[in-house]
Amino acid sequence: MQKNLEMESLPPAVFLMGPTASGKSALAVELAQALHGEIISVDSALVFKDMDIGTAKPTLAERGGIEHHLIDILDVSDSFSTGQFRNEALRLMADITTRGKLPILVGGTMLYFNALTQGLAELPPANTEIRAKLEAELERDGNIALHRRLEKVDIRAAKRIHPNDPQRVQRALEVFELTGKAMSDFFADNQQTLPYRIQKFVIAPEDRKVLHEIIAQRFHKMLEQGFLSEVEKLYLRGDLHDKLPAIRAVGYREAWSYFQGDYDLPTMTEKAIIATRQLAKRQFTWLRRETDAHSLITGQKNMLAQIQAILTAAP
């Protein structure tokens, strides 16, 4: 009883999660318009300026007059850590709540959502020597071999991190080499409570094949809208490279390889679509853990009414 009273006293917030291309952005705007809310982007690519088409960044018109936060805040040459996201998101949530509005957190970077709900462990700082060694190992043996090594020292991290995400695999191995302790143990020791009454919603197509088709169609539309010209401008800047977090974003890294002469256009297109589908698969893996979330089906009628009914009935 006491716990319920404590929960009821917390300010509300909404998490709208889902795989890429599932329709989160448009639904979030409808929700914010109906519930006097503001949107906080939970997307590791939308933070970067000059990356609009390939990230499906909502245009000003598509934002429907709703304030969107954590979009276009960094240059492409910068980085944005999970810790930075958590700090900024918490600051924004507090500000939005203070102004009497509803924080609506929307996106598909599940690591960011996890950092909000579970907190962040105090991990050791990066070590240049170890990173260089792991980078050389990646170049020599490939990402699968590196992932297998992670399985031997931190099976929980290996299950959570996809082999095609070498940056996070390397970080987990780096933490182990520095401390002799699995990175997962740091997080297990650092559970933190989020001071909000959260209602979670997951939006996704009922059939995974439908999402695959949407992803392919969307990428072809991006090409028509000038995606390659967008990447070419970044490529010609001269101060960027393919190890930067922004350039490693899905679609951008394949287009970058195209400009380096590694792929022809059809191959680049195929690889970008496959990579985006793999991203969606990883997102679904994370989303399956959100057992307390309400499910919404992409394209379903009256989704807004469903959400409003759930929020109204919530304590």
pLDDT in tens, 219-245: 999 999 999 999 999 999 999 999 999
Residue with token string 């509300």: 12
- pLDDT of 168 over the 90 cut: no
* Token duo for residue 250: 């899905």
Long-range contacts, stretch 304-310, CB < 8 angstroms, 24+ apart: 304/27, 304/30, 304/31, 304/34, 307/14, 307/31, 307/201, 308/34, 308/35, 310/199, 310/201
d(CA 7, CA 179) in angstroms, rounded, equals 37
Q: Which pLDDT score, from 0 to 100, does residue 150 have?
A: 94
- pLDDT of 7 over the 70 cut: no
Please count the CA atoms within 13 angstroms of the CA of 139 that sit on its side-chain side.
7
Q: Which residues contact 94 (CB under 8 A, 6 or more apart)?
A: none
Q: Which of 297, 116, 286 is nearest to 208 (CA)?
A: 297
pTM, two decimal places: 0.82
CA 246, 163, 215, 208 dihedral sign is negative
Q: Which pLDDT score, from 0 to 100, does residue 189 have?
A: 59
Distance of CA 2 to the CA centre of its chain: 35
Domains defined along the chain, listed by start: 2-120+192-313 (3.40.50.300), 128-188 (1.10.20.140)
d(CA 315, CA 8) in angstroms, rounded, equals 6
| Element spanning 41, H or E | strand 37-42
Residue type at 199? Q
Return the ∠ at Cα 46 (arms to 16 and 120), rounded to 5°. 65
Q: To the nearest 10°, the Cα dihedral for 273, 76, 38, 14?
A: 50
| Element spanning 208, H or E | helix 208-225
Q: Which pLDDT score, from 0 to 100, does residue 6 have?
A: 58
* 294: DSSP letter: E
Q: Alpha carbon of 276 to those of 51, 198, 220, 228: distances in Å? A: 16, 29, 12, 16
pLDDT digits (tens, 9 = 90+) for 43-96: 999 999 999 999 999 999 999 999 999 999 999 999 999 989 999 999 999 999
* Token duo for residue 202: 């997951």
Residue with token string 């001071």: 195
* Residues forming beta bridges with residue 14, ordered by sequence position: 104, 199
Assign 112 a pLDDT band (cuts: 50, 70, 90). very high
pLDDT digits (tens, 9 = 90+) for 132-162: 999 999 999 999 999 999 999 999 989 888 8
* Residues forming beta bridges with residue 199, ordered by sequence position: 14
